[in-house]
Structure 1
Amino acid sequence: MNPYQVQNAQNKQIMKKAREMGIECEPLIPGCEDFLELSYRGKTIVINKTRSHKMPLMAGLLAKNKDASNLLLRRRGLPVPDYIVVSQAGEEAVRFLNTHRMVIVKPLDTSRSVGVTLRIDREDDLENAVKTARLHSEQVMIQQYVEGTDFRVLVIGGKAIGALEYKPAFIEGDGRSTIEQLIRKLNEDQLRRNSVGDAGSFQPVDVESKSLLMHLQELGKSLQAVLEQGERVELFSGGNILADGISEIVLDRSEDISAVNANIAVEAAKALQVDVAGIDIRCRDIRLPLNDENGGILEVNALPDMIDPSLFFQGASTDVFQSYLQYLFEE
């Protein structure tokens, strides 16, 4: 099957890179993209996108359950922000909010940002966030909000391949362009596509969205305002917001992450026995070791995205799909 006929972006890149490397690669079941069968030098394996044949079943189950994941991470001495698990916004949830002043709420056993609400600092918002999370999971995790920025470290076979930073979209003035022009330029720069036409995770900022226009109005600005040189405008408000509604700028921080934090990411993957993982970290400074003041691990993803790393990791030596395929056939 031609990679261009495959629908899943990860599978397209795996098939394309495999053939470049002389590896036979086809869907195991014609018309089904859940499994790819790869053959190389007399060895045949079956994988599920970026989930390898080497990962134990238990590892995937542990990674999906945030409570179990955090327990094992803490046992290994790794930094995890304080949290509780509840089924409703009762007294325990309110006490936790009052203790930490700001929290995030997320479904206990879902992946990505579905049902996640950020920056909650009021009881009524907490109740609404718990209701939203319970649409996706019977139990809900309420976690201490960590000041800083989100990072994703890609780990393959016990090695930290690189790190990406995800920042809520912002624009910076040049003294000539309007806010609308700067937003359109941001969309063009971030909406990168690979050789088979698939884009990364960036959600283009809608210049006509009501939330954006209201946010600009609160700042005393409009789409036609011209920003001064170096003037920065955040495109999303600082209040509580659903995580999947935020457009995030992606930046390569592979050269900036400290050796300590890279090792923490590797240890986090090992703690859950996940051989190919995306380690979500939130911290103030990725160059400094994680601790109570600088942040911690938010999640271990057992089916990590490799499209963003393939688009944003810089340097010819960082080919994430090649690294993945080489690992699959390592003895």
Structure 2
Amino acid sequence: MATLNDIQLLRTTYLRGPSVWTYRPVLEVWLDLGELEDYPSNKIPGFNERLTAWLPDLIEHTCGVGERGGFIQRLEGGTWMGHVLEHIVIELLNLAGMPAEFGQTREISQRGVYRMVFRCPEESVARTALYWGHKLIMAAINDQPFDRKPAIQAIKTAINDRYLGPSTGCIVDAAGERRIPHIRLNDGNLVQLGYGAAQRRIWTAESDQTSAIAEGIAQDKDFTKRLLAACGVPVPEGQIVTSPEEAWEVAQDIGFPVTVKPSDGNHARGVTLDLSAEDDIKAAFALAQPEGSDVIVEKFINGTEHRLLVVGGKVVAACRGETVSVTGNGKSTLSELVAVVNQDPRRGPEQEYPLDWINLEAPAVKLELKRQNVTPASVPAQGESILLQRNGNMAIDCTDEVHPDVAYYATLAAKIVGLDIAGMDMILQDVSKPMKGQGAILEVNAGPGLLMHLKPTSGAPRPVGQAIVEHLFPTTEEGTGSGRIPIVGIAGTRENAFIARLVGWLLQLSGKLTGVASEQGMFLNNRQTQRSNTANWAGAHRLLTNRLAQAAVIETTARSILEEGLAYDRCLVGVVTDMDGFETLKDHDVHEQEQMTRVMRTQIDVVLDEGAGVLNADIEQVADLARLCDGEVLLYSLHADNAHIAKHREDHAEGRAVFVKNNQVILATGAQERVLGTLDALSLPGGRKPDTSALLAAIAAAWSMDIAPDLIGAGIKTFEYNVA
């Protein structure tokens, strides 16, 4: 069969929030199959066999069939290459360690052109997966060789470069389980949990409650020890030294054995334990000096190293360390024995592995070997044990064994230093017995790593992410903290800037410092802070990261939904005013008014269960969105006899609506009606008459948030609306 031309990737768009496809970020790809439109999967000799040989786990894809092997059935029956590419990309992501389940492929009005999407929380990872998926499918089509290993490795590299570290990631995941939204603030691990004034920030395992003073104290190990000792916390005797010779002198004064370590290092780097010989102590000084600003010599305490995690004044997890050694067989060199140890699946160079590879060239390991008079080339005798590492192997969970007295001293030390989240390094002979006389606190760590508690080599993983989220967003008698502020999303084209500004003003009068992102700019506390159009993802994003905003009103457009997605995951109130503008969206394959429903429903799809959808009942297509709203529905109309409002009031005893009757604005709840005021009375300062339909939309949105009608009426009359 002749070589077939490549599938053309016409354009790729990363939708960073809820969109016409799904609630989560996706990469949307426009594909032109060209001549491959005439070659579904069952018409290319050997294609299915090559594809399933490279990706055998495609058998697990249920596809639209709904059962294991569903996608294979589609392949054998004949499916188009856009659909196949979707499943290839998803499978490559799965193989790279990032579960990806959602994907869709839809043909557009132009023959052979498809829109294919797949879910991926990071854009660079999505684009890397697409690149390799495209190469794989073309190799399968044209019977060319393909090695999937470089593809998977490239995607893994992109994941490691872009994804949150394990500590931050577990906190974000725990927040997601509580439906607390998050925003990544940089390319690293600085993450905002929640929106606006309700937000909290984390950076690895540090929070915005972690003071700089407390962190500074924790970094100075010598000062920390003196502070703890002054408060009665057991700590080992020690002293800062400035030279190898002084280290030896202090060690003699303290008494052997001793520990030599940097004063402000971390991850056990530069720490050497159980030293008595002069040469070893001086060598340990040289090892510790590059890892910190000073070197400490302290009394070595016999016992096992432990790490206790303290969150909000409670011990929530504990791990016990273990030494690392190998046993000789009389045949293999030490290097060969260590190579076997490094094959342990728990060991690896990346953060997801709970244990590091053993590196015989690492200074601390070389020092241990020197103390035992062995080298990597030595052949230990049968049964001879060679110690490789004494510390830094915290991986055995012992949370359930922690004695209350040990927990007391751990939490006390965190309070003394001033940390809300702390990793307590303790030396203990037995964690299940009282602290005094059998242990001491060695270090207090700010921003402790959580991986040891998430993936212990022995024992149960601990829900440390949930503990930190509960600390940041505590459950009270009033309910569970959600990290959310009231968000009003407004979609459409008819006077939406006016609606956004007026709703923002009414929220401001109700006592909430409110931000507004609209086509007229950004407003905070009714003061314009930006003049350019902010009715887009970037504008909304800036508003939601503002710690002053206690409420947010965000205007959006159909084009922004199609090209960016919404900047928020859910909203308290979603307003849809109209379905206009399809004529300008031909580049998105929107050619008819009816197609606007799929776009504008996005605003209603994200309404919270406890929220409300506000819909223009004078437009049939808008009113029909009521069936899609998870929350309450409020309808508004210029006409008292609107059929949609009549049915809404009839079907729902508490169904609310806003409409005009005899030149009066009526607030209706079921059969009950209340007059808000006449249209003449509900005018802006100076007697300016706003667009009536826009006025009703703003009134309905404010009323849906239980702003008192009297305040709504007074607010309209005092609203200074100036178009910049």
Question: 1: CA distance between counterparts of 2:343 and 2:400?
Answer: 25
In the alignment, is residue 24 of structure 1 matched against residue 175 of structure 2?
no
How many residues of Structure 1 are paired with residues of Structure 2 in the alignment?
303
- On the 8 A contact 2:413/2:444 being kept in 1, the answer is yes
**Inter-CA distance 249–153: structure 2 relative to 1 (3 Å threshold):** closer
2:315 is equivalent to residue 164 of structure 1: no
Aligned to 1:141: 296
Answer with 159-168 or 130-139: which moved more: 130-139
Q: CA deviation at 1:192?
A: 9.4
Question: In structure 2, do the counterparts of structure 1 residues 142 and 218 end up closer, same or farther at CA, with 3 Å as the change threshold?
Answer: farther
1:152 and 2:307 are equivalent in the alignment: yes
Aligned residue among 356, 359, 378 for 1:203: 356
Counterparts of 2:279 and 2:338, CA distance in 1: 36
Match of 1:324 among 468, 476, 479: 468
CA distance in 2, matches of 1:83, 1:310: 33
For the pair 1:236 / 2:387, whether they are aligned, the reply is: yes
Correspondence 1:115-134 to 2 at 5 A: 115-134=270-289
Q: What does residue range 7-156 of structure 1 map to in structure 2 within 5 Å?
A: 7-29=164-186, 32-39=187-194, 43-91=198-246, 93-97=248-252, 99-156=254-311
User: Does 2:304 match 1:304?
Assistant: no
Give, as a single letter, the amino acid of the residue that structure 1 aligns with 2:355: F
Cα shift at 1:286: 1.4
Per-residue deviation, residues 38-93 of structure 1 (Å, max 9, x unmatched): 10696112221210111221000000001111011111111001101111133574
Q: TM-score, normalised by structure 2?
A: 0.38
Whole-Å Cα distance in 1 between the matches of residues 171 and 244 of structure 2? 43
Distance across 2 between alignment mates of 1:139 and 1:279: 21
> What percent of counterpart residues are identical?
24
Superposed CA deviations along residues 16-42 of structure 1, whole A, max 9, x for unmatched, are 33223211112113xx21421110696
- 1:167-246 to structure 2, matched below 5 A, reads 167-170=322-325, 184=340, 188=344, 190-191=346-347, 199-205=352-358, 214=375, 220-221=381-382, 234-236=385-387
Deviation of residue 282 (structure 1)?
0.9
CA–CA distance in structure 2, aligned partners of residues 249 and 202 of structure 1? 8
Preserved contact between residue 171 and residue 182 of structure 1 (Cα < 8 Å): yes
Report the residue type matching 1:279 in the other structure.
M
Q: Please give the per-residue CA displacement for 1:179-200, whole angstroms capped at 9, x wherever unaligned.
A: 989985895364499xxx9524
Task: Compute the displacement of 1:323 (Å).
Answer: 1.1
Could you tell me how far apart the structure 2 residues matched to 1:249 and 1:109 are? 19
| 1:257 partnered with 2:402 | yes
Larger Rg: 2
Residues 348, 356 of structure 2: 8 Å contact kept: no
Could you tell me which amino acid in structure 1 is paired with residue 410 of structure 2?
A: A
Shift, 1:171, TM fit: 6.9
Quickly say closer, same or farther: Cα 1:86–1:25, change in 2 above 3 A. same
Q: Please, which runs of 5 or more residues in structure 2 have no aligned partner?
A: 1-15, 17-120, 123-158, 329-333, 477-724
Q: Whole-Å Cα distance in 2 between the matches of residues 324 and 11 of structure 1?
A: 10
Given the superposition, is the C-alpha separation of residues 307 and 267 from structure 1 closer, same or farther in structure 2, using an over 3 Å criterion? same
Code of the aligned partner of 1:46: R
Q: Does the Cα contact within 8 Å between 2:422 and 2:445 map onto a contact in 1?
A: yes
Q: Higher helix proportion, which one?
A: 2
Q: Measure, in 1, the Cα distance between the counterparts of 2:360 and 2:250.
A: 39
| Alpha-carbon shift at residue 114 of structure 1 (Å) | 1.9
User: What is the distance in 1 between the residues matched to 2:218 and 2:423?
Assistant: 11
User: Matches of 1:40 and 1:326 in 2, distance apart?
Assistant: 17
Which sections of structure 1, spanning at least 5 residues, go unmatched?
174-178, 222-226, 228-232
**Which has the larger displacement, 33-42 or 80-89?**
33-42
CA contact (8 A) 1:87 1:138 kept: no
Which residue identity lines up with residue 393 of structure 2 in the other structure?
Answer: E
